[in-house]
Chain A
Amino acid sequence: MIVLDIYRYALWNLILKDFRVRYRNMSLGVLWSILNPLIMLGVLVVVFGYIYPNKTIQYYPVFLLLGLIPFNFFSLCISSSTTALLENSSLIKKLMFPRIILPVSIVLSQVIHLVIQLGLLAVFIVMFHVPITAHYLWLPLIFMVELVFILGLALICSSLDVYFRDTLYIVQSTLTVLFWFTPIFYPASLANENLPRPLYLLFMANPLSGCIEAARRAVLGQTSPERDLFLMAMVVAFGTFLLGSLLFRKMEKNLADYL
C-alpha cells in the first residue's frame, strides 16, 4: 500500500498508457465498451426472449445486463492482465519499480468500461420502469468484492504467465467455461434446484456468481444479498487476493530473468 502511494503517479501513467495503446488505432475507440455488451445483450434477448423464451423472469434485459456487465468486466480484466508482465518486458528489464503496479494498472484501466456499462444499465432500469429502492446501495459493495477477486486473480495469472506461457490459453478456455457456469442468462435459483447441494455450493463459491446474484437481488428482488452466500463470495475473494499477493511477491524476484 505504501508502494502504491509513492508510485501513484506512475500507476496513473500506466493506466493512461493502457488506454492509449488500446484505442490509438481504433476508430470507434471506447465506444466498443458499450457496443460489446449491447451485441451480447441483443443475441441473448433474441435467443431467450423469442427463440427459447423464458417467461418466468421479469425485466429480462435488465436481468441479463446484471449478469453480463460483471462478467464482461471480469473477463476483460483477467484476459488483459494475464499478459501484463510479458507485454511490458521492455519496462521491467530496464527499470526498477514495484512490478505489482503493472497488473493493477490494467485492472484499474478497465474500471472505466465498467462505469460506462453501468451507465447503460441505468438507462435500461429507467426504460423498463424497474423500481428504484435503497437496496441499490448494495451495488458499490458488490462491485468492490468483485474487484478484490479480480485483483487477486490478476496477480496470480500475470505472474504465472511469465513462467508458464500456457497460462493465457488456460485462462481463455476457463473464461469460456465460466460464461456457462456463471448465472448470466439463467437465474442462480435454477442451479440451486437442479444441481446436487455440493455442486451448487461449488457453483456459488465463485465470487462472480455470488456478486451477480447479490446484484440481481438488490436491483430486481429489492432485497439484501443472501447473507451466507455473499459472505462466502467475500471470503473467497479476499482469500484469492491474499494468495495472489503472496504468489506475486515470490514470483517477482527473478522476473527479469524469464522475460
Chain B
Amino acid sequence: MSTVAIQISEVSKRFILRKQRPFLLHEFVRKLYGRRNPADEFWALKEVSFTIQKGESVGIIGHNGAGKSTLLSLIIGSARPTHGHIQVEGRIGALLELGAGFHPDLTGRENIFLNASLLGLSHETIARQFQAIIDFSELGEFIDVPIRNYSSGMHVRLGFSVAIHIDPDILIMDEALAVGDANFQQKCLAKIEDMKSRGKTLLLVSHGMESIQKLCSKAVWLEHGTKVLEGPVGEVIDAYHKRMRV
C-alpha cells in the first residue's frame, strides 16, 4: 500500500480562449493547418508538482485566478491536464465552488441518488446513507423541492452532506465553508475534524486564511499558475502575507 493520496507531477493546463463562440469554423480550418494565435492561449497551471500523503490536510492558497480551482477540477478528474499527470488513490468526496454536481430540475432527494451513483456508488450504499445525508443537511421539507429553487446556502449544505457521507478517503472543499451560516459552519468544521482524526486526507482551497490555518498542517501557495511555496502552513501563510504587504 502506497502512502501517497494525491501525486501531482509537472501538471500544466492550457485553456484556449475564444472571444465569443466556443469553436468557430475558421478557427477549425486554421487548426487543421496547425496554426493557432498564441494570444488565444491561457496557461492556468504551469508545471505544478506536489505530493499529498494519506492522512495529511493541505490547504491551497492564492489570489483569484491563481489556478486553485483548475487544479481541483484536474484532481477530481472532471478535466484533464494538458501536460503532466495526476495520480489519486481512494475515493474523493468533493464540494467544488458553486455546487457539487447536481441537476437543477431534480429535487434534493433525486439529486442525492443521481450524484452518488455517478460517483460509482451502488443503490444499497446510497440508501443506507440516505437518511443521514438529509439529516445533516437540515433541509427538512425542501428535500423534495427542485434544486433550482434552493438558496446558495441550501445548495452547499446538501453538497457538503453528500460529500462526507459517501465514505470518501479524500475530502476536497473549494471555498465551500464561506457560504453556510455560522451554525452550519461549526457543524462542518467539527465533521471535518472528525474525518481528519479518522485518517482521511483533506484538501482545502480558500482565499480566507483562517479556515486553512485552523484545519491544515501543510499549505501550497499558487500564483499565476505556478507553485510559489509549499511547506508547513504557518510558514507559507507568513510568506504570503509578507508578499501582500510589499
Tell me if chain B binds chain A.
Answer: yes
List the interface of chain A (C-beta within 8 A of B).
6-7, 9-10, 12-14, 16-17, 20-21, 24, 88, 90-97, 162-165, 253-254, 256-258
Task: State the Cβ distance, A153 to closest chain B Cβ, in Å.
Answer: 20
In the assembled complex, 10 residue pairs joining A and B whose CB atoms fall closer than 8 Å, in A order, are A6-B120, A7-B117, A9-B122, A10-B114, A10-B117, A17-B110, A95-B101, A254-B79, A256-B78, A258-B23
Known contacts: A13-B117, A90-B99, A97-B119. The answer to whether A21 contacts B106 by CB under 8 A is yes
New A-B pairs, 6, CB < 8 Å, besides A91-B103, A95-B118: A7-B117, A10-B118, A90-B99, A95-B78, A95-B115, A97-B119
Q: How far is the CA of A12 from the CA of B99 in the complex (A)?
A: 22
- A254:B80 contact, CB within 8 angstroms: yes
B78 touches A257 (CB 8 A): no
The proximity string for B residues 137-156 relative to A, scoring 1 for CB distances below 8 Å and 0 otherwise, is 00000000010000000000
From A21, A91, A95, residue with most partner B Cβ within 10 Å: A95
With A96-B77, A96-B78, A254-B80 known as contacts, the answer to whether A9 contacts B103 (CB < 8 A) is: no
- Are A93 and B73 neighbours in the complex by a CB distance under 8 Å? yes
The answer on a CB contact under 8 Å between B106 and A95 is: no
Q: Which 5 A-B pairs have the closest CB atoms?
A: A94-B101, A96-B77, A95-B101, A10-B117, A256-B79
The docked-state distance in angstroms from the alpha carbon of A163 to that of B16 is: 12
Chain B binding surface SS class: loop
Q: Can you name the residue of chain B whose Cβ is closest to the Cβ of A24?
A: B105
Cα-based distance from A94 to B101 in the complex (angstroms): 5
The reply on B94 being an interface residue by CB < 8 A is yes
**Scoring B residues 1 to 24 as 1 if CB is less than 8 Å from chain A, else 0, what string do you get?**
000000000000001100001110
| Complex Cα gap A13–B80 (Å) | 25
- Do A95 and B105 have beta carbons less than 8 Å apart? no
Nearest residue in A to B22 (C-beta to C-beta)?
Answer: A258
Residues B1-59 near A (CB distance < 8 A): 15-16, 21-23, 25
Report yes or no: A17 in contact with B114, Cβ–Cβ below 8 A: yes
Chain B residues contacting A20 (CB-CB under 8 Å) are 105-106, 110
Cα–Cα distance between A163 and B104 once the two chains are bound (Å): 23
Closest to A11 in B: B117
What chain A residues lie within 8 Å of B78 (beta carbons)?
92-96, 256
**Alpha-carbon distance A24/B80, docked complex (angstroms):** 35
Across the interface, do B105 and A93 meet the contact criterion of CB distance under 8 Å? no
B53 to A: closest C-beta gap in Å:
22
Interface pair B102/A9, CB less than 8 Å apart = no
CA distance A17 to B109 in the complex (A): 12
Contact status of A90 and B102, CB under 8 A, knowing A10-B117, A258-B22: yes
